[in-house]
Amino acid sequence: MFLLHGFTGTAASWDRVRKHLPADFRVVAFTLPGHAPDKPACDTFATTCFAIAQALPEGAHLVGYSLGARLALGAALQAPERVASLTLIGVHPGLETEGAREQRRKDDAAWVRLLEGQGIEEFVDAWSRQPIFASQRVVDPDVWEAQRVARLKHNPLQLAASLKSTGLGVMPNFWTELNRLSMPTRVVVGADDSKFLALAARLVTQAPHAELNVVPACGHNPLLEAPAAVADILRSVRGG
């Protein structure tokens, strides 16, 4: 099983989920480009997906969260022969109009200026205050602080480069390609994540082998907020 974390995350973002998996459950937590000193950001969304597809073993069960889910979707569409199943957690299949993409590029440019001009601490504090992450405040304070510490270890210029190349404003519109997903696809979303719940409900009507998994009492980040529930879904993907 091949796991992709979200923006500002690390491979360790999956640790809380992995603690609920059987000891013989083999997983590889992949570090996304732009999120480690030895993995600079790729030039484009497509080249990032290609890098992920090239790293996949044959017949991989590919799992992604948020940015990782968008990249997993792109990789599965690029190299479906490598993907046995696809699990997308908090996924956005892409903006559908150029106007929406342009607005998102402007929004992301503000985050880039913050990263490049103010540094990682100012960025992390502002990023964490976004309404989409408000539900995470219910987790153990030590868990919340551990996430903050992990984010602070990132290089702000690398994160800025990642956002420039993989942000939603530069991502292709995959809505028109969902019917090409030939592998079993699980779409996972927190019940309290209203925007992404609507996206997920729509996605499963357009991908031919997709099913919806709603995690109760959870917001945008089930990895952090409901790791045991995510582990249960991953066990069902592997069949045990």
* DSSP symbols for 94-150: ---SHHHHHHHHHHHHHHHHHHHHH-HHHHHHHHHTSGGGGGGGGS-HHHHHHHHHH
What gap in Å lies between CA 146 and CA 99, rounded to an integer?
Answer: 37
Whole-prediction pTM value? Answer: 0.96
Looking at domain 2-238, its CATH class is alpha beta
Q: 173 phi and psi, to 5 degrees?
A: -85, 105
How many residues does the structure list for the chain?
A: 240
pLDDT of residue 119: 94
User: Residue 100 burial by CB count (10 A; 0-12/13-18/19+): exposed, middle or buried?
Assistant: middle
Q: 134 phi and psi, to 5 degrees?
A: -60, -35
- Mind listing the pLDDT tens digit for each residue in 173-195? 999 999 999 999 999 999 999 99
DSSP label of 24: T
What gap in Å lies between CA 193 and CA 170, rounded to an integer?
Answer: 23
Q: Alpha helix locations (H) across the chain?
A: 15-18, 45-55, 67-78, 98-118, 120-128, 141-152, 156-166, 194-203, 222-225, 227-238
* 240 pLDDT tier (thresholds 50, 70, 90): very low
* 139 pLDDT tier (thresholds 50, 70, 90): confident
What gap in Å lies between CA 94 and CA 116, rounded to an integer?
Answer: 26
Give the 3-state secondary structure of residue 33: coil
- Mind listing the pLDDT tens digit for each residue in 49-81? 999 999 998 899 999 999 999 999 999 999 999
Whether 91 contacts 196, CB under 8 Å: yes
Integer angstrom CA distances of residue 108 from 55, 116, 159, 176, 190: 28, 12, 11, 24, 24
Tell me what the mean pLDDT of segment 139-149 comes to: 89
Sheet with 2-4, edge to edge strand ranges: 28-30, 2-4, 60-65, 83-89, 185-190, 210-215
Other CB atoms within 10 A of residue 141 CB: 8
Other CB atoms within 10 A of residue 158 CB: 18
- Mind listing the pLDDT tens digit for each residue in 1-43? 999 999 999 999 999 999 999 988 999 999 999 999 999 999 9
pLDDT of residue 140: 86
Tell me what the mean pLDDT of segment 73-94 comes to: 97
pLDDT of residue 239: 58
Whether 85 contacts 111, CB under 8 Å: no
